[in-house]
């Protein structure tokens, strides 16, 4: 099966690189024109999908000053722009099931999927990472297990309201529903694409039960990745699904240039311009237990901090076109990945087209990727 290639779509000036200098080079985030051009570049570049991460809480003043995940565009709304600007590109949007009512998710998703002819997917996240400690009333006071329990109940509700012309009688732990939901309902049956990046016990349980795609940080070591993925497959089988029902997508950060030297210079420039304060805020937000700058600095050291600041949790693939294509081939064969979601540190339509022109033909020559139009598009 052909690899799927996704664009890790920027809903912020900077999503995985903590360099104010790099952020200063991206197009205007708050412009429909920017997103129309970027989406069309992804389609022309033969990307299968755009994946949009989303979060609610700012990580802190450093991140805010440099535009790292703040401001952040509301992804189901951004998806509307992308889907309207393209014909084949698919779009996965993150929705927090911990604070979106399932009927609201059903309406948003139903419209996006129906109006795009079945090109929408949902990344189900439960929150409480990425600085989301804003307000208990909005964000609830649920532990990880309860959040996934609620997410599972949301999935049961979506499955029913989307498949029975909207009729539902539901008495659950978190929701009590009785009536009919207005359409449109999704055209993808039985459900639009379901994505999860769950990693904890409850997260893997959720992914194995419900997800079509599992996203993993590109930096996950091979042994850990295998352990998690095998467990997700085991859960899938325990729910009567095929072992290969869940496809693995790895998050990578790509700088590709015609020469190794150009790629290396660009990569070094990013590392040199990293804002270490933002790295600390990011690590505080995703890691528990380490809270001060000094602790983090001591445990990681400056070089590694710059590395984290350059790619966050993704896998760094910086090089000429052959190096980049070889690395992706390795991920496919050795890590068993079915696809990649690509971040560009300085995102703009040129980077996206450049990837399409330099890397896609090489993946095709290796026999691991075919153009979406030759397989009738689809997930």
Ligand X SMILES: Cc1cc2nc3c(=O)[nH]c(=O)nc-3n(C[C@H](O)[C@H](O)[C@H](O)COP(=O)(O)O)c2cc1C
Positions touching ligand X (CB under 6 A) are 53-55, 94, 125-127, 129-130, 144, 197-200, 203, 215-217, 251
Q: How far is the CB of 135 from ligand X (least distance, A)?
A: 16
What is the smallest separation between the CB atom of 121 and ligand X, expressed in angstroms? 13
Name which of 10 and 55 has its Cβ closer to ligand X.
55
Rounded distance between C-alpha atoms, residue 137 and residue 135, angstroms: 5
Identify which of residues 130 and 174 has a Cβ nearer to ligand X in the complex: 130
> Are the CB atoms for 379 and 193 separated by under 8 Å?
yes
Q: Which residue is nearest to ligand X (CB)?
A: 203
Overall size of the chain counted in residues? 379
- 144 vs 146, beta carbon nearer ligand X: 144
Q: 3-state DSSP: the chain helix, strand, coil percent, rounded to 5?
A: 45, 15, 35
Question: Closest CB to ligand X among 21 and 142?
Answer: 142
Distance in angstroms (rounded) separating the CA atoms of residues 230 and 208: 10
Cα 249–Cα 212–Cα 215 angle in degrees, nearest 5: 30
At residue 19, φ and ψ (nearest 5 deg) are -120, 110
Min separation Cβ 332 and ligand X, Å: 17
Query: Least separation, in Å, of the C-beta of 247 and ligand X?
Result: 14
Strands (E) located in 226-287 = 247-257
CB of 150 to ligand X, least distance (A): 12
CA angle 117, 120, 125 (to 5 degrees): 165
Pick 57 or 186: Cβ nearer ligand X: 57
Distance (Å) of CA 187 to CA 92, 110, 373, 375 = 15, 8, 20, 20
Instruction: Find the shortest distance in angstroms from Cβ 302 to ligand X.
Output: 25
Task: Compute the C-alpha angle 8/45/24, nearest 5°.
Answer: 50
Q: Shortest distance, CB of residue 357 to ligand X, whole angstroms?
A: 25
Burial class of residue 176, CB neighbours in 10 A (0-12, 13-18, 19+): exposed
What are the residues whose beta carbons fall under 8 Å from the beta carbon of 52, sequence distance 6 or more?
9, 11, 75, 78, 79, 91, 92, 93, 94, 123
Nearer of residues 44 and 144 to ligand X, judged by Cβ: 144
Closest CB to ligand X among residues 102, 203: 203
Tell me whether residue 40 or residue 343 sits nearer to ligand X (CB atom).
Answer: 343
Minimum CB distance to ligand X, residue 127 (Å): 5
């Amino acid at each position: 099966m052909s690899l799927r290639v996704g664009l890790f779509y920027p809903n912020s000036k900077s999503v995985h690189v903590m360099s104010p200098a790099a952020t200063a080079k991206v197009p205007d985030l708050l412009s429909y024109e920017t997103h129309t051009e970027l989406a069309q570049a992804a389609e022309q570049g033969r990307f299968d999908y755009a994946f949009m991460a989303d979060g609610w809480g700012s990580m802190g003043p450093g991140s805010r000053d440099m535009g790292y995940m703040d401001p952040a565009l509301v992804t189901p709304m951004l998806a509307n722009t992308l889907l309207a600007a393209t014909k084949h590109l698919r779009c996965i949007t993150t929705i927090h099931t911990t604070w979106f009512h399932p009927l609201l998710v059903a309406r948003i998703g139903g419209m996006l999927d129906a109006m795009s002819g079945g090109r929408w997917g949902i990344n189900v996240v439960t929150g409480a990472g990425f600085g989301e400690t804003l307000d208990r009333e909005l964000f609830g006071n649920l532990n990880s297990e309860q959040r996934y329990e609620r997410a599972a109940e949301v999935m049961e509700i979506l499955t029913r309201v989307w498949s029975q012309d909207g009729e539902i009688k539901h008495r659950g732990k978190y929701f009590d529903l009785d009536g009919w939901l207005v359409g449109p309902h999704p055209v993808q049956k039985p459900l639009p694409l379901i994505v999860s990046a769950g990693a904890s016990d409850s997260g893997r349980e959720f992914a194995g039960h419900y997800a079509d795609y599992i996203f993993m940080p590109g930096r996950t070591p091979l042994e850990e990745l295998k352990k998690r993925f095998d467990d997700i497959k085991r859960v899938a089988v325990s729910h009567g699904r095929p072992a290969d029902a869940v496809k693995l997508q790895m998050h990578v950060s790509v700088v590709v240039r015609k020469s190794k030297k150009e790629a290396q210079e660009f990569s070094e420039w990013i590392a040199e311009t990293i804002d270490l304060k933002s790295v600390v805020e990011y690590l505080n937000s995703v890691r528990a237990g380490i809270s001060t700058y000094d602790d983090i600095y001591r445990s990681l050291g400056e070089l590694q901090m710059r590395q984290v600041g350059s790619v966050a949790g993704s896998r760094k693939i910086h090089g000429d076109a052959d190096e980049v294509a070889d690395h992706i081939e390795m991920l496919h064969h050795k890590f068993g990945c079915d696809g990649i979601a690509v971040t560009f540190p300085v995102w703009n339509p040129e980077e996206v087209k450049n990837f399409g022109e330099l890397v896609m033909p090489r993946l095709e020559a290796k026999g691991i990727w075919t153009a979406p139009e030759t397989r009738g598009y689809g997930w």
